[in-house]
Amino acid sequence: MKKLAILAAVALVGCQSNETQPSESEETTMKYANDIHSFSKPNEAAVKHLDIFLDVNFDTKIITGVADWTIESAKGATEIIFDTYHLGIESVSTDDGGQVDFSMSDEDEILGSALHVPITNETKHVVINYETSSDAKALQWLDPEQTSSKTAPFLLTQSQAILARTWLPCQDGPGIRFTYKAEVKVPENLMAVMSAGGNPTELHPDGSYNFEMPQAIPSYLMALAVGDIEFRAIGENTGVYAGPTIVDTAACEFADIDAMISAAEDLYGPYAWGRYDIIVLPASFPFGGMENPRITFATPTILAGDRSLVSLVAHELAHSWSGNLVTNATWNDFWLNEGFTVYFEQRIMESVYGREYSEMLASLAHEGLKDEVAEFMHGHAEDTKLAIDLTDRNPDDGVTTIAYDKGYHFLRLIEQTVGRDRFDAFLKNYFTSHAFQVMTTEEFVNLLESDLLTPEEVKEIGVQEWIYGTGLPENCPVPNAVRFEKVDAAASLFKTEGTLPTSEEAAAWSSHEWMRFIQELGELSVDQLTALDNAFHFSKSGNSEILAAWFQPTIRAGYEPVRPVVEDFLIHVGRRKFLTPTYKAMLESDKSEWAKEVYQKARPNYHAVARETMDDLLDYQMAE
């Protein structure tokens, strides 16, 4: 049935010119979703496989590439379109046409420019010689001082959502999958890893590395990291890459990874990607983690020493199903990637560490969600819809707590309504029968209605309101974190009586309990903050989440001892999740001079995606 539909779409394109749009009824039979964030027209000509050679030059901070794309085209297609952003295209050739006359469209600020390559029905390969620009947004080139061991420079890529096109001419939409082989040349003392098979466990003395990705992936999962890194095995098919001074710490922190994989497989079926490794990147990596297939990219700020922040690993691992197997069709459907992943992450955490523990995580997420929804409702209510419309916007605008935690609470409500057994059976089938395919919000709603929910349940849940409505519906589940009851009581005792938690209590608390404690306290006086800091040394915490939570009341109260800690943190850590609330606290408490001064120093350490957000927040203008 599906095959027929594809053939129909192919035949359709064959008898029309490039410009002609399919009629509405025919559109539903198209293989690829219409993605507003890509210029490519995969229903006419689509990439299938990539053979790429990359030469990584740390002196010029430029990657030179030769990308040999294997393509498939519909009958009559006369061109294939790639996405690019500030790429220098040197030449393009095809297997049947030799060097061809390509053209570039005018640049769109968000999307970059389309690369049009003429093809015929005989064209099977398009070879593009290109180089990246000095402002390639996906790439972060770091000096040795910006790495953990400070021995060598580092390069990392961050392709999600639409930054792959800044280091690779590609059809840059989440629905367009391809397999790849890569040969990467790096300076002789450095190691390279990719989101692929073949990652090295030892340095290759000649600086040449080969990778092969046999499972088809979308471009946003293309990833490369190069630096002075070492490998440590954890289990038979798991391990960690990190700088030599932190690799053992990292291996110890992630010791539960095999248990997490078993838990995930027990829930929703076999892990589809072969190995699962984690690379711990320099602190300026803009995210907590990125689910690059076979090798999660992670921030070092999760190395707390006590494994208390490993839910992030559960999250990125969960993406191996939600996102990497069943992929959001377009960035408007981003909540399908992240909401499902937070739900799955919670289930893994519950299975490995118990319900009491995972409910603490859920409760922290719930509080954060309520705050964010309340904030958005002043002027940006549309952005609280799960089904967000990102037309003419950067997909990065959709990366909010809404996709993650409103998505999570919606799925939790479904679970609550139908019971775990029914929901788990549905989800297992969902991941199996849509593996390596895309999912749209509409199709998911249809699946819910056809395969899981009765009409009464659809109504009771309020599926339409949850997905297409703004705000947080009344029936939003409230996690039940029993371990927070004591914490809340202790926080209120401190607020009212000035009584500190006892040392017994303090010793028993995990970092989540401390986070809750700090958040519950709200605004405090300098005297209160001093008493707390003397007792619990929050300003010296080695736990990035506790430290970032502690910055809120201290910055707002003007607690002086925290100033150098904040500055040091902002200069060294580039994780956007921490930067935004910290700079916001500075701005909201009349310390914008200070914020700008620190930002001036810190900005060069940030990745482009973090820089863009902070530039907006701090109204930063580049000096001419």
Residue numbers of the site for ligand BES (CB under 6 A)?
A: 160-161, 287-291, 312, 315-316, 319, 338, 399, 404, 577
Minimum CB distance to ligand BES smaller for 38 or for 43:
38
- Please answer whether residues 143 and 228 qualify as being in contact, where contact means their C-beta atoms are separated by less than 8 angstroms: no
Q: Which of residues 323-352 bind Zn ion (CB under 5 A)?
A: 338, 341
From Zn ion, ligand BES, none, which one binds at residue 161 (CB under 5 to 8 Å depending on kind)? ligand BES
Minimum CB distance to Zn ion smaller for 336 or for 490:
336
Please give the structure tokens belonging to residue 364. Answer: 């922290």
State in angstroms the smallest separation of the CB of 407 from Zn ion: 10
Please give the structure tokens belonging to residue 224. Answer: 């490369």
Q: What are phi and psi of 541, to 5 degrees?
A: -60, 135
Distant-in-sequence, close-in-space partners of 326: CB < 8 Å, separation ≥ 6: 336, 340, 430, 431, 434, 435, 437, 438, 439
Omega into 196 within 30° of 0, i.e. cis? no
State in angstroms the smallest separation of the CB of 624 from ligand BES: 30
Residue nearest to ligand BES (CB): 288
- Comparing CA positions, the residue from 440, 456, 399, 447 lying closest to residue 423 is 447
C-alpha triplet 144, 148, 154: angle, nearest 5°: 45
Supply the DSSP string of 221-254, one letter for each residue. G--EEEES-EEEESSSSEEEEE-TTTHHHHHHHT
Task: Determine the 3-state secondary structure of 385 from DSSP.
Answer: coil
Active-site position among 32, 268, 343, 404 = 404
From ligand BES, Zn ion, none, which one binds at residue 185 (CB under 5 to 8 Å depending on kind)? none
- Chain-centroid distance, C-alpha 101: 36
From Zn ion, ligand BES, none, which one binds at residue 312 (CB under 5 to 8 Å depending on kind)? ligand BES
Q: Which helix (H) or strand (E) segment is 139 a member of?
A: strand 139-142
State in angstroms the smallest separation of the CB of 399 from ligand BES: 4
Active-site position among 253, 291, 316, 372 = 316
State in angstroms the smallest separation of the CB of 621 from ligand BES: 25
From Zn ion, ligand BES, none, which one binds at residue 125 (CB under 5 to 8 Å depending on kind)? none
Is 468 catalytic? The answer is no
From Zn ion, ligand BES, none, which one binds at residue 543 (CB under 5 to 8 Å depending on kind)? none
Minimum CB distance to ligand BES smaller for 288 or for 501:
288
Q: How far is CA 535 from CA 293, 507, 538, 542, in A?
A: 43, 12, 9, 16
From ligand BES, Zn ion, none, which one binds at residue 357 (CB under 5 to 8 Å depending on kind)? none
State in angstroms the smallest separation of the CB of 404 from Zn ion: 7
Minimum CB distance to ligand BES smaller for 249 or for 394:
394
Minimum CB distance to ligand BES smaller for 10 or for 163:
163
Minimum CB distance to Zn ion smaller for 401 or for 539:
401
Please give the structure tokens belonging to residue 311. Answer: 């839910």
Distant-in-sequence, close-in-space partners of 477: CB < 8 Å, separation ≥ 6: 409, 412, 413, 416
Minimum CB distance to ligand BES smaller for 483 or for 577:
577
State in angstroms the smallest separation of the CB of 477 from ligand BES: 19
State in angstroms the smallest separation of the CB of 288 from Zn ion: 8
From ligand BES, Zn ion, none, which one binds at residue 415 (CB under 5 to 8 Å depending on kind)? none
Q: How far is CA 144 from CA 147, 154, 521, 598, in A?
A: 6, 7, 40, 21
Rounded distance between C-alpha atoms, residue 204 and residue 201, angstroms:
9
- Tell me how far apart the terminal alpha carbons of the chain are, to the nearest angstrom: 59
State in angstroms the smallest separation of the CB of 316 from ligand BES: 6
Q: How many residues interact with Zn ion (rule CB under 5 A)? A: 2
Minimum CB distance to ligand BES smaller for 316 or for 372:
316
Taking CB atoms within 8 Å and a gap of at least 24, the contacts of 301-304 are: 301/544, 301/573, 301/575, 301/578, 302/253, 302/544, 303/246, 303/249, 303/250, 303/253, 304/253, 304/511, 304/542, 304/543, 304/544, 304/545
The DSSP output letter for 282 is P
- Comparing CA positions, the residue from 335, 320, 362 lying closest to residue 477 is 362
Rounded distance between C-alpha atoms, residue 548 and residue 365, angstroms:
15
From Zn ion, ligand BES, none, which one binds at residue 366 (CB under 5 to 8 Å depending on kind)? none
Residues annotated as part of the active site: 316, 404
Binding residues for Zn ion, rule: CB under 5 A, are 338, 341
